[in-house]
Amino acid sequence: GAGVSQTPSNKVTEKGKYVELRCDPISGHTALYWYRQSLGQGPEFLIYFQGTGAADDSGLPNDRFFAVRPEGSVSTLKIQRTERGDSAVYLCASSLNRGAYNEQFFGPGTRLTVL
Amino acid sequence: RKEVEQDPGPFNVPEGATVAFNCTYSNSASQSFFWYRQDCRKEPKLLMSVYSSGNEDGRFTAQLNRASQYISLLIRDSKLSDSATYLCVVNSNTDKLIFGTGTRLQVFP
């Protein structure tokens, strides 16, 4: 079946601009996660949704970052007033349910470059 | 101190070699443990879960030592296709995964 998909695959923007990154989880998966991976590092947690609600947004670096999942399926990560330090690969993952033992399946990521 | 620490490598080994990766974690309340594999410019994919009793999947063996907060991965009879970054991952019952920086493995002919 279809895996997690993310669009766009690459995004180049200028400092100060607004960007939206989209994630389509595996059908039927209730939990959705956003991570950010910088060069040479492992992915770092940003936010997690159970259904439509953000269950844990403790990883969002500041209030320029915001994410929504209005219908409990597709999610959008929004970044305002982008900075060069926001350049990274943004990974989305989904799992069937929440819980420490549920496998998280990752999408291919969106590579964001802020010039 | 990072929550999950692993040697970044790279580990350069010939085909057929046995190689071991280690990882330590700081949160004693951590509940589940994994090794993920990540190929260059690709997403992480689950390689195997790690249990206290140890578990084996073909050429791969994973081990967890809760007392020492230590996780290991052993790869026997290395193949060229094993070249990748291996990420040590911990879940502390908060649903979010905590990743190490990854250990790069390069298998050469």
What is the per-residue pLDDT across A12-58, written as a single tens digit (0 to 9) for each?
999 999 999 999 999 999 999 999 999 999 999 999 999 999 999 99
Measure in Å the smallest separation between the Cα of A35 and chain B Cα atoms.
Answer: 9
Contact B95 A40 (CB under 8 A): no
Contact A56 B94 (CB under 8 A): yes
B34, B32, B4, B7: which is closest to B20 by C-alpha? B7
Q: Is A9 helix (H, G, I), strand (E, B) or coil?
A: coil
Can you say how many angstroms the Cα of residue B92 is from the centroid of all Cα atoms in its chain? 17
Confidence of residue B79 (pLDDT cuts 50, 70, 90): very high
Contact A45 B46 (CB under 8 A): no
Q: At CA B40, angle to CA A10 and CA A65, rounded to 5?
A: 40
Please check whether residue A90 touches B, CB under 8 A: no
pLDDT at A98: 79
Task: Give the mean model confidence (pLDDT) for residues B77-105.
Answer: 93
B78, B64, B66, B3: which is closest to B35 by C-alpha? B64
Calculate the dihedral angle through the C-alpha atoms of A14, A15, A19, A25, rounding to the nearest 10 degrees: 100
CA distance A42 to A50: 23
Contact A98 B95 (CB under 8 A): yes
CA distance B34 to B86: 10
ω before A8 within 30° of 0 (cis)?
yes
pLDDT at B107: 98
Contact B31 A91 (CB under 8 A): no
Q: What is the pLDDT of residues A102-112, one digit of tens each?
A: 889 999 999 99
Confidence of residue A1 (pLDDT cuts 50, 70, 90): low
pLDDT at A38: 96
CA-to-CA dists, residue B63 to A84, B34, B88, B89, B93, angstroms? 40, 10, 12, 13, 20
Task: Give the mean model confidence (pLDDT) for residues B62-87.
Answer: 96
Q: What is the pLDDT of residues B8-60, one digit of tens each?
A: 989 999 999 999 999 999 999 888 999 999 999 999 999 999 988 889 999 99
Calculate the dihedral angle through the C-alpha atoms of B53, B57, B61, B65, rounding to the nearest 10 degrees: -30
Residue entry with tokens 């991965």: B73
Contact A108 B97 (CB under 8 A): no
pLDDT at A79: 98
Decide if pLDDT at A5 tops 80: yes
Measure in Å the smallest separation between the Cα of B85 and chain A Cα atoms.
Answer: 10
Chain A residues whose beta carbon lies within 8 Å of the beta carbon of residue B45: 106
**pLDDT > 70: what percent of chain B?**
99
Decide if pLDDT at A101 tops 80: no
pLDDT at B1: 76
CA distance B85 to B91: 19
Confidence of residue B94 (pLDDT cuts 50, 70, 90): confident
Q: Which of B52, B96, B98, B101 should be substituted to probe chain A, the one whose Cβ sees the most A Cβ atoms within 10 Å? A: B96
Q: At CA B89, angle to CA B69 and CA A5, rounded to 5?
A: 170
